[in-house]
């Protein structure tokens, strides 16, 4: 998933400068999607699509209305066989969908890619309608019968964690006809508006000094050392967002209403409960996290931004100065080979197996690194399916933050490879734990670099950048979560104007930034570009959850806990087969304990203390 506001490219002032930058970075890899299919027009893709259609219909014909009987049998007619057949289908459908998605995100501006992606999504939705009965019918089997079936049939017992997890959805299921209607209409409701957002954002251009730039490059100008450059970028962003705000307001209103309708029909009490259920995390745990972070604003973001304003020679920073580099920040670009070596050596220092898995992403062309027109912004690691392998997308332009982003996404990739052993049904990790390996990998890389840095000024710049990244990952994401809560709550009373949404946005930003940052006209539209609000409502708290969890986990590692690496790999290999209390117990951690979050936040506070000490010294 896209890293929160820690992206890669820097300003491209001209084609000549861009070429020079690319040369200094070395050859950047482009992913080899042919590992999935040779091309979108290939015979292999078409054959698998036809195979998926035949298998989906055959699965429905064989098992629909027969699962209760299957629960009483073993072997070819037993529940275990039905689950195995379903998993095989899930893997095939996932492979087809992954190829279409990755092709589209390689160049969202290509109309042929857009049509291919849309057509494949439509076909997969049609096929999913033949499989929809399976989960619904499984959940209508009474508990005693299901328990007996899982105990009696060894093949079914293998899928016990998935079945138990599935049954948590039972109270929120609708009848079959309604579920099918929700599924089929998703293509013309939420999915359609998601695609409208992606394609609109990909086409936006932001004019700076007469040059029209895409979003990714313009956002990263906010990390340039010269204040006038940051100011111009902020003005260009505000201007273009404002020019398109009606579209983003319509998308936001529509998706919020669509979610409210779905939640109401399913019987969810709270606006975020459907996300909590999907994440397999209790509302009380998330509420405790949000409260802990909000209470820490003065000790974290308010305190740090006040220090940074002083370092930059300002009484108060403008909002476009928030991610400005310190004067001590090295300006030299980091080549791709150096970035690769930095991450792999940091991973190897923790566990050679971790580096070996990450190295495959480089050696076997599973990474797409260059910035190019139409390519999806930001960064993500896509797991595809267990029968294939994950892919990583970054937009690499040689800044230190880009190395951290690479370490982050490769952490996801390692996690996805290890969890793939669980198979298509149980490999997926709940979002609350999905950020564990990524943030941990990033922390390993940061600590390795920090240990090598003896120069006091460079050390200060590194620590400051890490603190900013952690504030972006924890404080900012909880502020985003609070914004979503306010927006979805207000939407229940009627459609919101862009001005009303802007007021909600500013209220949470002012609270999280504190008095050291001046929020001026234009920033009220900046909610419009955050993709998480569109694609995954309330996803954002998973970043804060993951960062705080890893801070606590890393503290256990630093204390030389015996067998830590082995326990860590077992956590990653578990995929979706275990709940967070069970996974964290071997490390002596408990996310339901209110003090758990305080421990995670104290690590950020400790880094700020270290920065303050360096400043005094």
Q: What is the pLDDT of residues 389-417, one digit of tens each?
A: 999 999 998 888 899 999 999 999 999 99
CA 400/CA 393 separation, integer angstroms: 17
Query: Strand 380-382 to strand 391-393: parallel, antiparallel, or no bridges (unpaired)?
Result: antiparallel
CB 194 within 8 A of CB 533: no
**CB-based contacts of 579: which residues, under 8 Å, 6+ apart?**
280
Query: Residue 2: which pLDDT band, with cuts at 50, 70 and 90?
Result: very low
Surface-to-core class of residue 446, CB atoms within 10 Å of its CB (0-12 exposed, 13-18 middle, 19+ buried): buried
CB 603 within 8 A of CB 453: no
Secondary structure class of 400 (helix, strand, coil): helix
- Between 226 and 18, residue with greater pLDDT: 226
- Tokens, residue 89: 């289908």
Secondary structure class of 392 (helix, strand, coil): strand
- Tokens, residue 317: 């920073």
- Tokens, residue 274: 């459907």
- Tokens, residue 307: 């220090």
CB 86 within 8 A of CB 425: yes
Query: Strand 206-208 to strand 211-213: parallel, antiparallel, or no bridges (unpaired)?
Result: antiparallel
* Average pLDDT score, the chain: 91
21 pLDDT above the threshold of 80: no
573 pLDDT above the threshold of 50: yes
Surface-to-core class of residue 233, CB atoms within 10 Å of its CB (0-12 exposed, 13-18 middle, 19+ buried): buried
- What are the Cα distances from residue 448, in Å, to 404, 411, 413? 12, 15, 20
pLDDT in tens, 198-226: 999 989 999 999 999 999 889 989 989 99
pLDDT at position 217: 87
Phi, psi of 225 (to 5 degrees): -70, -25
522 pLDDT above the threshold of 90: yes
pLDDT at position 12: 33
Query: Residue 22: which pLDDT band, with cuts at 50, 70 and 90?
Result: low
Name the pTM for this structure.
Answer: 0.84
pLDDT at position 467: 94
Query: Residue 274: which pLDDT band, with cuts at 50, 70 and 90?
Result: very high
pLDDT at position 15: 40
**CB-based contacts of 454: which residues, under 8 Å, 6+ apart?**
none
Query: Residue 617: which pLDDT band, with cuts at 50, 70 and 90?
Result: low
564 pLDDT above the threshold of 70: yes
Ramachandran area for residue 522 (φ above 0: left; ψ -120 to 50: alpha; else beta): left
Q: If you count them, how many residues does the chain have? A: 617
Q: What angle in degrees, to the nearest 10, is found between the helix axes of 475-491 and 498-513?
A: 150
- Between 193 and 12, residue with greater pLDDT: 193
pLDDT in tens, 427-462: 998 877 888 999 999 999 998 888 888 888 888 888
Q: What angle in degrees, to the nearest 10, is found between the helix axes of 336-350 and 352-363?
A: 150
Lowest mean pLDDT among 22-26, 45-49, 239-243, 529-533: 22-26
pLDDT in tens, 222-273: 989 999 999 999 999 999 999 999 999 999 999 999 999 999 999 999 999 9
| Share of residues in the chain with pLDDT > 90 (%) | 75
pLDDT at position 431: 74
pLDDT in tens, 95-143: 999 999 999 999 988 999 999 999 999 999 999 999 999 999 999 999 9
524 pLDDT above the threshold of 70: yes
pLDDT at position 593: 81
CA 237/CA 509 separation, integer angstroms: 17
277 pLDDT above the threshold of 60: yes
CA 343/CA 357 separation, integer angstroms: 12
Q: Which residue has the tokens 């910035």?
A: 371
- Between 591 and 445, residue with greater pLDDT: 445
CA 445/CA 458 separation, integer angstroms: 16
- Tokens, residue 470: 């952690």
Q: Write down the architecture of domain 35-188 according to CATH.
A: Up-down Bundle (1.20)
pLDDT at position 361: 98
pLDDT at position 415: 97
Q: Where are the domains of the chain?
A: 35-188
Q: Mean pLDDT over residues 485-505, rounded? A: 98
């Amino acid at each position: 998933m896209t890293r929160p506001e820690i992206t890669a490219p820097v300003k491209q002032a001209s084609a000549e400068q861009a070429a020079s930058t690319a040369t200094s970075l070395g050859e950047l890899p482009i992913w080899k999607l042919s590992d999935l299919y040779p091309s979108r027009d290939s015979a292999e893709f078409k054959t698998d699509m036809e195979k998926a259609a035949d298998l989906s219909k055959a699965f429905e014909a064989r098992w629909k209305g027969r699962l209760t009987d299957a629960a009483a049998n073993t072997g070819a007619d037993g529940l275990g066989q039905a689950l195995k057949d379903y998993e095989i289908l899930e893997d095939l459908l996932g492979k087809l969908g992954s190829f279409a998605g990755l092709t589209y995100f390689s160049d969202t501006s290509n109309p042929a890619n857009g049509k291919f992606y849309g057509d494949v999504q439509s076909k997969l939705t049609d096929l999913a309608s033949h499989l929809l009965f399976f989960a619904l019918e499984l959940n209508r089997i009474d508990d005693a019968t299901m328990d007996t079936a899982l105990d009696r049939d060894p093949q079914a017992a293998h899928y016990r964690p998935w079945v138990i997890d599935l049954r948590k959805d039972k109270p929120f299921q609708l009848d079959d006809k309604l579920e099918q209607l929700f599924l089929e209409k998703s293509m013309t409701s939420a999915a359609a508006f998601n695609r409208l957002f992606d394609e609109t954002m990909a086409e936006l251009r932001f004019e700076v000094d007469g040059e029209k730039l895409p979003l990714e490059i313009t956002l990263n100008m906010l990390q340039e050392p010269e204040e006038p450059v940051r100011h111009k970028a902020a003005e260009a962003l505000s201007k273009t967002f404002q020019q398109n705000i009606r579209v983003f307001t319509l998308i936001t209103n529509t998706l919020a209403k669509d979610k409210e309708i779905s939640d109401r029909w399913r019987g969810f009490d709270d606006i975020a409960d459907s996300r909590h259920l999907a994440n397999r995390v209790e509302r009380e745990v998330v509420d405790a996290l949000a409260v802990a972070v909000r209470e820490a604003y003065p000790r974290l973001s308010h305190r740090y931004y006040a220090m940074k304003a002083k370092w930059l020679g300002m009484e108060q920073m403008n909002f476009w100065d928030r991610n400005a580099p310190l004067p001590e920040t090295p300006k030299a670009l980091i080549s791709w080979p150096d970035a690769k070596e930095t991450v792999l050596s940091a991973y190897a220092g923790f566990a050679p197996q971790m580096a070996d898995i990450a190295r495959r992403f480089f050696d076997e062309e599973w990474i797409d690194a260059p910035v190019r027109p139409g390519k999806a912004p930001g960064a993500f690691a896509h797991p595809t399916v267990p029968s294939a392998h994950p892919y990583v997308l970054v937009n690499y332009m040689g800044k230190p933050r880009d190395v951290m982003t690479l370490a982050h996404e490769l952490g996801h990739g390692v996690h996805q490879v290890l969890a793939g052993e669980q198979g298509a049904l149980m490999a997926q990790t709940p979002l609350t734990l999905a950020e564990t390996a990524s943030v941990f990998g990033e922390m390993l890389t940061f600590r390795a670099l920090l240990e090598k840095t003896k120069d006091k000024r460079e050390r200060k710049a590194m620590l400051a950048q890490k603190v900013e990244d952690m504030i972006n990952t924890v404080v900012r994401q909880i502020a985003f979560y609070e914004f979503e809560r306010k927006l979805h709550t207000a939407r229940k009373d009627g459609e919101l104007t862009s001005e009303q949404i802007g007021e909600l946005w500013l209220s949470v930003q002012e609270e999280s930034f504190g008095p050291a940052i001046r929020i001026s006209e234009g920033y009220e539209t900046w909610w419009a570009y955050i993709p998480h609000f569109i694609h995954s409502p309330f996803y954002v708290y998973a970043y804060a959850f993951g960062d705080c969890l890893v801070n606590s986990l890393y503290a256990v590692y630093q204390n030389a806990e015996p067998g830590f690496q082995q326990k860590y790999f077992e956590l990653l290999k578990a995929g979706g087969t275990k709940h967070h209390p069970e996974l964290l117990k071997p490390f002596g951690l408990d996310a339901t304990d209110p003090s758990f979050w305080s421990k995670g936040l104290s690590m950020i506070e400790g880094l700020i203390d270290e920065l303050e000490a360096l400043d005094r010294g």
